[in-house]
Structure 1
Amino acid sequence: MLMIKAIVRPEKTNEIMKELNDAGFPAVTKLDVVGRGKQRGVKVGDVVYDEIPKELLVMVIRDEDKDDIISTIIKHGKTGEAGTFGDGKIFVTPVEEVYTISTGQPGL
């Protein structure tokens, strides 16, 4: 199993979640977050905005679904040409165990 954490632009979240659902991946946790990437925020005049609103999408998935999910997030999360800063990042980490709280059963 893998955990995917995708930091995306808020205006792209609904489209990404719809496409994931349509592709058979409905289980997503969404959190409102703020932060900055390697561009260190946005400077407007003398003011630097370094708490830029983003959405964090979290999914625990089967290993074999990774490529489909990542390509869906990239396809529907990008705003333009390659290299547009601020579109976000995707992190993939292994998950050792998962349990359903209501039943205590292991696994997805």
Structure 2
Amino acid sequence: MIKIEAVVRPERVNLVVEGLIEAGVGGYHVSNVTGKGTQQGVEVFTGRGATTTTRAALPKTVVTTVVKAEMKDAVVEAIVTASRSGADGQIGDGKIFVSPVSEVIRVRTGEKDAAAL
């Protein structure tokens, strides 16, 4: 089993979720976060618009799912397609982190691994 965490622009999260469902993902969760990556923040107007400052931590959304290993490539491709801005993408479109999951347990029934997904 594989855990896939995608940090994406908040305005793209609905497209990402639709892509996950089309790829056959049974469940996911979404968290709103702030952070700093390659984009290095943005200039924002402060006060009455007379001055600007750099906002380092930007709002992002993390979409997390755990899938069977054989679904990894399809799920990653669905996320990339849904979260990329334009044909070539832009800085700030996000990152995808893929890591192994050694065990999953469904609390309600005690089912384990693939049966718990």
Q: TM-score, normalised by structure 2?
A: 0.85
Aligned-pair identity in percent equals 38
Give the gaps of 5 or more residues in structure 2.
45-50
Q: CA RMSD in A?
A: 1.5
Q: Which aligned pairs between 1:9-88 and structure 2 lie closer than 5 A?
A: 9-44=9-44, 46-82=52-88, 84-88=90-94
Name the larger-Rg structure.
2
Q: Deviations over 1:39-97 (max 9, x none)?
A: 32113464111121111000111110010000000011001243510000000011111
After superposing on structure 2, the runs of 4+ consecutive aligned residues of structure 1 that deviate more than 4 Å are none
Aligned length: 108
2:41–2:58 Cα contact (<8 Å) kept: yes
Q: TM-score, normalised by structure 1?
A: 0.91
Q: Please tell me the residue identity of whatever aligns with 2:61.
A: E
Match of 1:102 among 101, 108, 113: 108
Give the gaps of 5 or more residues in structure 1.
none
